[in-house]
Structure 1
Amino acid sequence: MTTTLKNTLLFFLLTIGCSLQAAEKPQKAAIASAHFMATEAGHRILAQGGNAFDAAIAVSSTLAVVEQHSSGIGGGAFWLLHRASDGKNVMIDGREMAPSKAHKDMYLDEKGEVNRDLALHGPLSAAIPGEIAGLDHLAQHYGKLPLSASLQPAIEAAENGFPAYARIIRHIERKKKILQRYPASMAIYLPNGKVPEVGDLIIQKDLAKTLKAVAKKGRKGFYEGKVAKKLVKANNADGGIWTLEDLKNYKVLEREPIYSEYNGKKLITASPPSSGGIAIATILNILSAWDLNSMDVSKRVHLIAEAMRRAYRDRSIYLGDSDYVDIPSKLLTHPYYAEGLRASISEIQATPSAILPGIGESPKGTDTTHFSIIDTEGNMVSATLTVNTGLASGFIAAGTGVLLNNEMDDFSAKPGEPNAYGLVGDQANAIEPGKRPLSSMSPTIVIGDDEVAVLGTPGGSRIITMVLLGILDFDAGNPPASWVALPRFHHQYLPDKIYAEKDAFTPEMIAALEKLGHTVQVHNGKWGNMHAVHWDKKTGTVQAASDPRNPMAKAEVK
C-alpha cells in the first residue's frame, strides 16, 4: 500500500470516527429555569465559551438575584453533575450547616414546645449558607471560565434591577409583617413602606457589591473579610448565633449520588443530606413489579401512593446528615428491601399509616427553585437551590444585601413535631453544630439506551413525589413538556392523606380511591415549578421545558 493511499485511508477513518463522536453529542444546548433572565444568563455564558458547569454558576447566581423568594446566596443547593469527558457523576453539596452554637433544644420554649417564630423568622432561624462556596467549587473544579465571568449577569441584574412580577409580589405581601421588623429588608422589599407593583424595579446595590467581592476573591469574598464581618455583626445584633469561624469553616462536599434502575433506565439522583434520592429509588423499586402504564388509572394511583407512604415513613426514621448519622442507604435502595415493602401493599385496600411502625405521632396541622442544563458536549447539570420557605427568614443582613435562609427549620426541632412543610423527623435529623439539615431536594438525571432526562423541581415535601411522577411520565414515553405540566398528587406517610392538585383526579377517581380506604384532599393551588431537558441520543436533538404554572420561567434551546 502506497504512503498516499495509507494517508487517504487514515484520513477517512479519522473522519468516520469524528462523525460518530459528533453524532453522540447534543446538537444544541438546552437550559430550563424558573426565570427568563437566569436562562438567558446561562446561554450567554455558553456563548462565551463556557460549559454547562459555568452556565450553572450563571443561572444559580442570577436566580439568587431575581427569584429570592426561592433561592439566594444566603441559602444552599445541590448541584448534580454529569461530566461527558470521563462519565463522572457527582453531587456538589452546598447545603447549609448549623452554626457551632446551635443545639437540639434551641427552639423550645419553657414548656418544651417549638417556638415556630424563632424557627422560621429572623437570624436565629438561619444556618450557615453554602451556595457561594458551591459556585466557587464549580468554577475551580468543573468550569472553563473564571468565576468572575460567570457571575457577571447576576451582578448586572442586582445593580440595574429587575422588574417585580406577580409571584415575588405575593411573597412580599405574605411576609410583610416579618419584613417590617428589619430595616434592611424593608429597604429592598418595601420601599417607602409599600409592596412593589408589577414592573417596579427591585434594585439591590449592596447585593451587587457582595457578588463583586466574590467575583474578585472567590469564596473568601463571602466567608472571610468585610462581607463576613458584616454578616456576623448583623446576625448577632438581631439575636443570631453566627460566628466568623462558622463562615470560614464552611465546607463544600462532593458526594457519590444515589444510583438505581427502573425499567432498564439508570437513575442518578441526590444523596443524603437529601432524602430525595433514596426515597425515589425506594418507590421505583417497589413499583418495578407492576406494569403501571397498562393498568386502570385509579389502581395505578393507589399503588404509587402506597409506595410513597412507605418511602416517607423510612424518611422520617432513618434519614439525616450522613456525616452525623449512620444511614442504611444500601439497604433502603436494594430491590430485596423494596420486595419486602411491596409484600405489605394490598392492591385492594389502603394501608393506614398508623399501623406502619414509625415515630408514633401525627403532625397537627414552596419554595425553592430548580434548573436543568445540557450543553453541546453532553455535560449535564440538575440543580435544586433553596432558602427554605418563601423569602426565607425575612432578614437581610445590613450592608450585604444577603437574605438569610431559614433552613434550621428543616431539622427536627423536636421528635414527631412537623416542620413548615408538615414533615416529621426523629433523632437522625436532630439539631447539632455543623450538621446539615435533611432536605427533600431531588435533582435527578435518568439515562436510557437512547435518551436522557434531566429534571427536578421545588416544592418542599412534595419535591420527591413530583420528580417521581416526572420520571414515570418519561418512562411512559412522553416528552418533557408533559413531565413539567402533569397534574400532581402526593402522599407523605403523615398526615395519612393523598393530596392532589385540582385537576389531578376526576370525581370518579376520588370515589374509587376512597373506596380503597384512602382519604383524598384536593387543593385549589398549584404545586412546584419543574424544569427539565431531554436529549435524544439517536438524533442528537434536545428539548427543554419549563413548568406552565410559572409565567416567568423560560426553557430555551440554542
Structure 2
Amino acid sequence: MIRTCVLAVLLAATHLPAAGAAELAHEPGRAAIASAHALATKAGMTVLNQGGNAFDAAVAVAATLSVVEPQSSGIGGGGLFLLHRASDNSDRMIDARETAPRATRPADFLDADGGLDQEKAWNGALAAAIPGEPAALVWIAKHYGKLPLKTSLAPAIRIARKGFVPDARMLDDIEERLEVIKRYPASAALFLQRGALPKPNWVHRNPDIARTLTLIADKGHDGFYGGELARTLVEGINAAGGNWTLQDLADYQVKEREPLVFQYREWRIVTAPPPSSGGIALKQMLNILAGYDLASLDRIHRVHLTVEAMRRAYRDRAEYLGDPDYITMPLEELGSPLYAAGLRASIHPERATPSDLLPGYTKAKEREHTSHFSIIDAEGNRVSATQTINLALGSALVIPGTGFVMNNEMDDFALKSGAPNAFGLVGADANAPHPGRRPLSSMSPSFLIGPDRIAVIGSPGGSTIITQVLEAMLAFIDGQLPAQIVANPRYHHQYLPDVIEMENDTFDAEEVQQLQAMGHSVIRRDKPWGFMNIVSWDRKSGQLHAGADKRRASGSAVVQ
C-alpha cells in the first residue's frame, strides 16, 4: 500500500532548519573537478594552482573541452553556467544560450509540403544560432574570476597548438557525421586525415582555434563578436547558405539570471531557470514525489511513481516553456505544491497513466551531445556548467580559419509547433523561433544543499538530462557518493514516446515484468546515455568527493 504524506508537501515549501553550524566546515580547503576529459580537468586544476578560483577553472575547463571534445561542446555553441560565490553566499546563472539570427523565419525550415525539413534544422549554416559560449567565458573571467583571461585560456591554446590524441568517442562521432563533414572543406580539413576517417593514435592539432582563443584572450568580447573574426564568421555562414549579420554578433550578450531555488524535504535545490526547462521540471517532479514516503516503498513502486512524475513534467514542458525574455510562463503555478498535489492525485498507485490521456503531440527518436563539468574550490565556490553544440559535431560546419564547429541549436526551437526535434521533444508557440530569442533547453546544472552535504550535479544527454539529474539527486539524498551515482544504471520517460527507456542493466527480467503488469511499456537501449560529472562536499567530515561517468572512457574526476 503506497502511503501519501500531505505534511511532506507542506515541508517542500519551508526553509532548511539550522543544522549544527559550529560543527560544519566553512571551507573545503581543497578542490574537486569532474569533467568529460582528463585534459580539461587537468587544465582546471592548473589554473587553480596558479591562484585562480572555481570560476577561473571553469573558463579553463570549458575552453579546453572546446579543443578536446569538439563533438559535444565548444565556442561555436553555448551553455548554462550555475555559479555559487562563497564570499557573499550568492548564486547566479550565466545564460549563454545561443540566439536566433535577425533574419530567422520559421518558414525557412519547412519543406515544400509544409512539414519540418530536418536536414535544414540539423546540418549546415541555417541550423546555426549565434554562439554564446565565448561571451560567457569573458563574462565569468571579468566578473567572478581572479586571474586574467589570458591565463585561464592558456591551457586550451597550448593543447590546440601541441595537439592531442582523440579518444574513441570523438572518432566514432566523426564517423557518424562523415558524409556531412565532407560537404564543407574546412570541416574535412579539421576532422579528417587526407579526406578519410582518422586512424587511432592520430594527433589532432588545431592552430585555427588557438588563434581564435588568443583573439578572445587579447580582446575579450570584441575578439569574437566584433572585428576580423566577426566578419569571417558572417561571410562564411552566409556563403554556406546562412543568414547572419554583423549586428547579430554585436548584439549578443550573456544574461545573468536568478537561479530557480526550491526545497525538497530538508534539501535546498538551486538549479537552472528558463530558458532551461530543467529546473522547473525538476521542481515539478520533486514536488510530486514529496507527497510519498519513498523510503518505505519497494523499488518498482518507487520507479513507477517517479516515472509518472516524469511523464507529467515533460507534458508541461512541451506546452508552456520558452525564452523568458519574450514570453510569459506560468512558472509560479507549475512549481506550486498545490499544482503538484493535483498532479499527484491523478497518479494511480498501481497503474501507469497512458500519455494519450494527457493532451499530446507526436513522437520521435533521441540523440545526445552535450558536455557537463562540476567544480568546487578550496574556498567553497562552486560551478555547475552544462554546455552544448546540440547534436554530434553540431551542424558539422566549420568556417575556414576559425577552428571550431558551429552549433545546430536552431533545432532546439519548436520550428513547427508539435513537430519533434532531434531529441524527440515537442513544443508549442512558446518556443517558436524569433529574432534574438533563445531556444528552450533541457540543460539542468544544479546544486543540492543539505544540512551537512552539498553536491554539484549535471549531465549531458539531450532530453534525458532532466531525468538523469533527478535520479542523481534522489541517490545523493539516499547517501550515495558521486562515483557510485554516476555509475548507477538509468531509466527515462519523457511523456512521448510513451515508454520507459532503460539502460541494459537497469532492471532485471522480473522487474520489467512488474512494470509491464502496471501498464508501462519498457524498452531496453543497448547503448548507455549521459556523461554525468559530480563533485560533493561533506561539511561534517570535511571530505570532498568527485565522480566522472565511466560510460565514456575520457571522463576525469580529481580531488586535490
For the residue of structure 2 that corresponds to 1:397, the secondary structure is coil
Q: Does 1:391 align with 2:393?
A: yes
2:234 match: 232
Amino acid at match of 2:460: P
TM-score normalized by the length of structure 2? 0.95
- The gaps in structure 2 that reach 5 residues or longer are 1-20
1:421 match: 423
Amino acid at match of 2:265: N
Q: Deviations over 1:357-386 (max 9, x none)?
A: x3x322255110000000010000000000
- Please give the alpha-carbon distance, in whole angstroms, between the structure 1 residues aligned to 2:262 and 2:105: 35
Q: Deviations over 1:212-271 (max 9, x none)?
A: 000000010000001111111110001011111000100100011111111200000001
Mapping of residues 73-472 of structure 1, within 5 Å:
73-356=75-358, 358=359, 360-364=360-364, 366-472=368-474
TM-score normalized by the length of structure 1? 0.95
Q: Deviations over 1:517-542 (max 9, x none)?
A: 11111101011000000101112211
Q: Deviations over 1:5-60 (max 9, x none)?
A: xxxxxxxxxxxxxx979932103100000000000000000000000000000000
- Please give the alpha-carbon distance, in whole angstroms, between the structure 2 residues aligned to 1:472 and 1:262: 10
Q: Deviations over 1:320-356 (max 9, x none)?
A: 1011111111111111111111011000111111111
- Alignment partner of 2:522 out of 507, 520, 529: 520
- Please give the alpha-carbon distance, in whole angstroms, between the structure 2 residues aligned to 1:533 and 1:126: 32
Q: CA deviation at 1:287?
A: 0.3
Of the two, which has the highest radius of gyration?
A: 1
- Please give the alpha-carbon distance, in whole angstroms, between the structure 2 residues aligned to 1:555 and 1:363: 36
2:15 match: none
For the residue of structure 1 that corresponds to 2:269, the secondary structure is strand
User: Identity of counterpart residues, as a percentage?
Assistant: 52
1:4 match: none
Q: Would the alpha carbon gap of residues 279 and 258 (structure 1) be closer, same or farther in structure 2, given more than 3 Å must change? A: same
For the residue of structure 2 that corresponds to 1:478, the secondary structure is coil
2:55 match: 53
Is contact 1:76-1:385 (8 Å) kept?
yes
Q: CA deviation at 1:466?
A: 0.3
- Please give the alpha-carbon distance, in whole angstroms, between the structure 1 residues aligned to 2:23 and 2:248: 47
- Please give the alpha-carbon distance, in whole angstroms, between the structure 2 residues aligned to 1:190 and 1:514: 46
1:485 match: 487
Is contact 1:24-1:538 (8 Å) kept?
no
- Please give the alpha-carbon distance, in whole angstroms, between the structure 2 residues aligned to 1:375 and 1:22: 17
- Please give the alpha-carbon distance, in whole angstroms, between the structure 2 residues aligned to 1:324 and 1:93: 15
Report how many aligned residue pairs link the two structures: 538
For the residue of structure 2 that corresponds to 1:305, the secondary structure is helix
- Please give the alpha-carbon distance, in whole angstroms, between the structure 1 residues aligned to 2:470 and 2:551: 18
Is contact 1:69-1:171 (8 Å) kept?
yes
Q: Would the alpha carbon gap of residues 22 and 449 (structure 1) be closer, same or farther in structure 2, given more than 3 Å must change? A: closer
- The runs of at least 4 aligned residues of structure 1 exceeding 3 Å deviation read 19-23
1:540 match: 542
Is contact 2:364-2:422 (8 Å) kept?
no
Is contact 2:23-2:540 (8 Å) kept?
no
Pairwise CA RMSD: 1.2
1:495 match: 497
For the residue of structure 2 that corresponds to 1:495, the secondary structure is coil
- Please give the alpha-carbon distance, in whole angstroms, between the structure 2 residues aligned to 1:267 and 1:60: 24
